[in-house]
Structure 1
Amino acid sequence: YEVGNTENTINFIKYLISKNKDSQIVIIWDGAKYHISKELKEYLGKINEGKEQEDWLVKCIKLAPNAPEQNPIEDVWLQGKEILRKYWNMCKTFKIVKWLFEWAIKEHIFSFPKLSMYASFS
């Protein structure tokens, strides 16, 4: 998506639902205004309507504000930066830096122990 906004957030959730028809979806995110907008709350209310919270199709958990030590994405950035530090001598241009960073985070499966602070996952 070109920008982060309510419309694209709702479209992304619809995409997740289409790819996970038989599963509940848990989204853990920051406090961006479009993550807590009236329109998004109405959409989530509509798709979860009539269900108990433990049966919601989509459950959203907000990360603690101003707590990067609890945010799993910080681990992704850190690991990407560690790869750059390891191979800095090969990075002659910004294009190479960008490629290496993107490769590092796209080709890695991350484990996020921090997520256990928000929910238990099987």
Structure 2
Amino acid sequence: MSAAVKQAIDGVIRDSLEVAATPPPQRPTLVLQPRWTLKRLVAGVKTTFQIDCSRESIRKVLKGLGLSWKKARKLLNKADPQKRAAFLAQLEGLLDEALHQSCLLVYVDEAHIHLDTDEGYGWSVKGERFWVSSSSPGLKQVSFYGLYLYDLAQVRIFPYDAGNQENTVDMLERLRAEFPDLPIKLVWDGAPYHRARRVKAAADDRNIHLVPLPAYSPDFMPVEHLWHWLREELTYHTCYHTEADLITQVELFQHRLNDDPIALSQRLWVSTQLDPVVEKLRVSS
């Protein structure tokens, strides 16, 4: 590849990446940015510099620039960095209490798991389609309340027909029944039924102190990692005929996790610090 061609490719790629990495300014109209695939970059180099090059040439230049093809992650730009920092300051005290066994620290989150298969990636015969059998259960699902008992490095996964006030109160009752004497600090997000008067009253009656997460901060919820783990183990490439079949497998999954607290605590890691570079990319409203 000539130096001129390499310089041209380098220039158009750098310009493209600068546009893609710039935080969106607050403006009334939405401007869609292209997804810079190799195919589009080849066309961009040809249009801008009248130079023909192959996708492999583009790929080599990208690798030379220290870039790799990866899956994007969503950054919730409505999150407030100051409120996130304030929560982590509060969390430091909660973790210290848990360390000294002054309270039971519990993270709670809900997930709605469908009976139908999650297709996902997997190994299959090259050149053949990768089929996964489905009984077409439609939109049937089970709502699970996931509890991460931080002090014990254990989880509890309770199945319900939906996430709502009534089932949330029942979950609080089950938690208090299992740990009748410990002060409980419960961390969860701001779902509407979490904020309901009935739920707050039920928590007060059972001496459960509620700690809300800052808005748009799922990265502070370790139970999110539990749901990723559950889907990898139970719903990728698997379709369930009935809700009972799914619930049974989730119960077995819970037992397996609780038998290995070290692996569980490593997978359900708790965020305690902010990345200044990432926080600067947030555009709080």
TM-score by length of 1: 0.60
Is contact 2:172–2:202 with CA below 8 Å preserved after alignment? no
C-alpha displacement of 1:43? 2.9
Aligned with residue 270 of structure 2, among 92, 101, 114: 114
Structure 2 residues not aligned, in runs of 5+: 1-159, 241-245, 259-263, 274-285
How many residues of Structure 1 are paired with residues of Structure 2 in the alignment? 101
Instruction: Describe the shift of the 1:82–1:59 C-alpha distance in structure 2 as closer, same or farther (beyond 3 A).
Output: same
1:31 aligns with 2:180: no
Is contact 1:24–1:58 with CA below 8 Å preserved after alignment? yes
Q: If you compute each CA radius of gyration, which structure gives the higher value, 1 or 2?
A: 2
Letter in 2 for 1:69: D
C-alpha displacement of 1:71? 1.6
In structure 1, what is the equivalent of residue 179 of structure 2?
20
SS in 2 for 1:60: strand
In structure 1, what is the equivalent of residue 214 of structure 2?
64
Deviation string, structure 1 residues 53-85 (Cα, Å, up to 9, x no partner): xxxx2111122321222221221133335547x
SS in 1 for 2:209: strand
Counterparts of 1:40 and 1:71, CA distance in 2? 20
More strand by share: 2
Is contact 1:80–1:104 with CA below 8 Å preserved after alignment? no
Is contact 2:186–2:211 with CA below 8 Å preserved after alignment? yes
In structure 1, what is the equivalent of residue 239 of structure 2?
94
More helix by share: 1
Instruction: Describe the shift of the 1:17–1:108 C-alpha distance in structure 2 as closer, same or farther (beyond 3 A).
Output: same
SS in 1 for 2:214: coil
